[in-house]
Amino acid sequence: MIEFIIHSLIITGGLGLVFGLGLALFSQKFKVEEDPRLELIQNLLPGANCGACGYPGCRQLAEAILRGELVPEKCTVGGNKVVAEIGNLLGIEVSQVKPGIACIICQGDEARASRRAEYYGINTCNAASQISGGFKQCFYGCLGLADCVKVCPFDALRMSLDNLPLVDESKCTACGLCVKACPRKIIDIFPRDNPVIISCVSPQKGPEVRKACQVGCIKCGICVKNCPQGAIHLEPSLGNLAVIDYTLCNNCGVCVEKCPTKCIVNYTTVHVHAG
């Protein structure tokens, strides 16, 4: 009986050794050599693994760039320095990444926007927006439950005392994750060299806007009449909401000064804070 067990162990061990050696030889013979540039590209990327590029991490983005499926410019977090370094490594031409920043296109905080109901549900903007369009009088403005703050991997967003998101200019990478997280679509990426924005998205008529918010666009057209560059128009498809043409805007600030509800702002002084 003991001899049988010993023989069985010897045979089993021998087979295991043979199969193990066979697998080792097979893996060596048929292994796919990894392109050494892959690791170099990954090391150049910021390593934030934020997913803003559409891939779950920087490794997957590096693989896509190496395969030619994506251009290095897709990594907005890395900026021009990273893009240029990857371009030099691969020997390809790259374009400049225009620096951007996330902007909150709403000033309707607790102090300036009216409520029409109290909300006691799940404490997220996404959940609240699905209950009769949210608890605020304005069906388009910020709900102030910080979905954007929760998804920011760079700690570039925080909530004000009146529950409106504030952007830290020194930390924002324009990755766009907050844009995707906002169910109201009131966050967007703007070029840093064009700081004037229409801080309202409501298509409602002027009287309705006034009832809901003190700082909404009332479609009065004063900004259109006073813009020296002719860079602003009232867009019919958006309920005559004021829209800026950034190819014409020179940031003169006249519209900011003339707007009667102060819904046109310089985001570097209103929404963007350095601490």
Query: CATH number of the domain that 181 lies in?
Result: 3.30.70.20
Is 141 within the bounds of a domain?
yes
Q: Does 142 show up as a binding residue in the annotation?
A: yes
Q: Taking residues 36-51, what's their average pLDDT?
A: 91
Same domain, 126 and 251: yes
Q: Residue 191 belongs to what domain range?
A: 100-273
Q: Of 24-28, 114-118, 200-204, 208-212, where does mean pLDDT reach its minimum?
A: 24-28
- Is 50 part of any known ligand binding site? yes
Q: What is the total count of domains within the chain?
A: 2
> Do 246 and 203 share a structural domain?
yes
pLDDT (tens digit per residue) in 108-149: 999 999 999 999 999 999 999 999 999 999 999 999 999 999
Claim to verify: residue 169 and residue 245 sit in the same structural domain = yes
Tell me: is residue 259 an annotated ligand-binding position: no
Tallying the residues shown for the chain, one arrives at 275
CATH of the domain at 65: 1.10.15.40
> Does some domain include residue 72?
yes
Rounded-to-integer distance, Cα 30 and Cα 49, Å: 31
Q: Which amino acid is at 117?
A: A
Binding site annotation covers 138?
A: yes
**Residue 263 marked as a ligand binder:** no
53 and 109 fall within a common domain = no
- The reply to whether 58 sits in an annotated binding site is yes
Tell me: is residue 255 an annotated ligand-binding position: no
Question: What percent of the chain has a predicted confidence (pLDDT) above 90?
Answer: 73
For residue 207, being part of any structural domain is answered with yes
125 assigned to a ligand binding site: no
CA 31 to chain centre: 39
Asked if residue 158 and residue 110 are part of one domain, the reply reads yes
